[in-house]
Amino acid sequence: MIHQEISRAFVKSISYFNEFIRNELHIPLGLKDNANLFPLIDHMYESDEGKVGELSFLTDEGSIKNEKMRKGKVDLRRELYHKAGKEAVDHISTYRISILWNLTILDDIETYPELLLPGQSHCLNSKPPKLDEVIVKKCSCLEDYNFILNKIIKYLDDCD
Amino acid sequence: MTVISKQALLDQIYEDWGSKPQSKICVEILEYLLRSSQASHITYGSLRKVIGKLYNDNELLMAVQYLCGDKTKLFEVKFELLDYDDNYIEVSNAEIDYANETGKLVHPESGEYISDFEDKVYMYFQPSLIVKNIAQ
């Protein structure tokens, strides 16, 4: 329910913004449809980008799996239990992922920005699956934020 | 119990779709069903993963619709309700038909009417009995 309310709020905000720039600033072009971020989830999972800290997925036997690593530990993709499970099935259908990076911004300062793509299991039933939000966490500075934004852009381009 | 050969299914697919992308999509999905005998709850997103990025959603949708149809009947269409407690509850096709006619869906367990049921009911695919009886 909360997710639907957030989506509705986004749509409403975009609509108000477009109406404002059209009526008050006389600019005919507004914000267009949002990008579909859902393909990023599996694309990033199948890459070796960062460390996967959290993953949710479905199997075709009907199970819903949620897996989460303790902060800063092994990449979930390389965890034994996860690897064995994945090898036992044809494929998994991912719908939610968080990826963490360890960046060094100065000689002795490290940061740990995190990207969460918060899809829900029922997204996989949609034709096509859609996601219109990301959550960027633990950014210590603008560089961290831009780093993640560039990752999103890069992987979105690769999805096309 | 009717046994159908894999070759007969392939012939049917190529006869119906010829050189269109749907032929290859249907064959890839058929191969997947044959190697994954445990698959019982297949989402659209899963089928997208099976066929990869070569084909667009429109092509995949047409292929899936075909595989649910009378020509091959490899898939049965199923529905489930995501209720207020985030539980998935299977809803029969008859209940969906009734809901579409009346605009009201009755919760299969609580008996309550579900408002805006179109937003809460999701479709998935189940391999039909035919899939279990394909001779390779």
Query: Looking at residue B1, what is its pLDDT?
Result: 63
Q: What are the chain A neighbours of B36 within 8 Å (beta carbons)? A: 60, 89-90
pLDDT band at B104 (very low <50, low <70, confident <90, very high): confident
Per-residue model confidence as pLDDT tens digits over A132-153: 889 999 998 899 999 999 999 9
Query: Looking at residue A96, what is its pLDDT?
Result: 98
Per-residue model confidence as pLDDT tens digits over B45-82: 999 999 988 899 999 999 999 999 998 999 999 999 99
A7 has pLDDT over 80? no
pLDDT band at A28 (very low <50, low <70, confident <90, very high): confident
Residue with tokens 């292929």: B63
Percent of chain B with pLDDT over 90: 63
Query: Looking at residue A121, what is its pLDDT?
Result: 94
Q: Does B45 touch chain A (CB under 8 A)?
A: yes
DSSP A4-73: HHHHHHHHHHHHHHHHHHHHTS-------PPP--HHHHHHHHHS--SEEEEEEEE-TTS-EEEEEPPTTS
**Contact yes or no for B36 and A125 at CB 8 A:** no
What residue spans of chain B are helical by DSSP H? 6-17, 21-35, 44-51, 57-68, 93-102, 129-132
ipTM passes above 0.85: yes
- Using CB atoms within 10 Å of the CB of residue B19, give its burial: 0 to 12 exposed, 13 to 18 middle, 19+ buried: exposed
Per-residue model confidence as pLDDT tens digits over A96-144: 999 999 998 877 888 999 999 999 999 999 888 999 889 999 998 899 9
- Which residues 81-140 of A are in CB contact (within 8 Å) with B? 89-91, 93, 95, 122-129
- Report d(CA A65, CA A118) in Å as an integer: 14
**Confidence (pTM):** 0.87
Percent of chain B with pLDDT over 70: 99
- Report d(CA A10, CA A124) in Å as an integer: 21
Mean pLDDT of A74-91: 94
**Amino acid at position A102, single letter:** N
Q: Are the C-beta atoms of residues B41 and B33 closer than 8 Å to each other?
A: no
Phi, psi (rounded to 5 degrees) for A28: -70, -30
Name which residue leads in pLDDT, B11 or B85: B11
Q: For residue A114, give Cα distances in angstroms to A2, A51, A57, A59, A149.
A: 22, 9, 19, 26, 11
Query: Looking at residue B9, what is its pLDDT?
Result: 93
Name which residue leads in pLDDT, B90 or A28: B90
**Contact yes or no for B41 and A62 at CB 8 A:** yes
- Report d(CA A100, CA B110) in Å as an integer: 42
Q: For residue B43, give Cα distances in angstroms to A9, A61, A76, A148.
A: 28, 11, 24, 30
Tell me the count of A-B CB pairs closer than 8 A: 60
Q: Does A47 touch chain B (CB under 8 A)?
A: no
Of the candidates A96, A93, A98, the residue with the CA atom closest to the CA atom of residue A58: A93
Q: Does A60 touch chain B (CB under 8 A)?
A: yes
Task: State the best of A125, A156, A160 to mutate against chain B, taking most chain B CBs within 10 Å.
Answer: A125
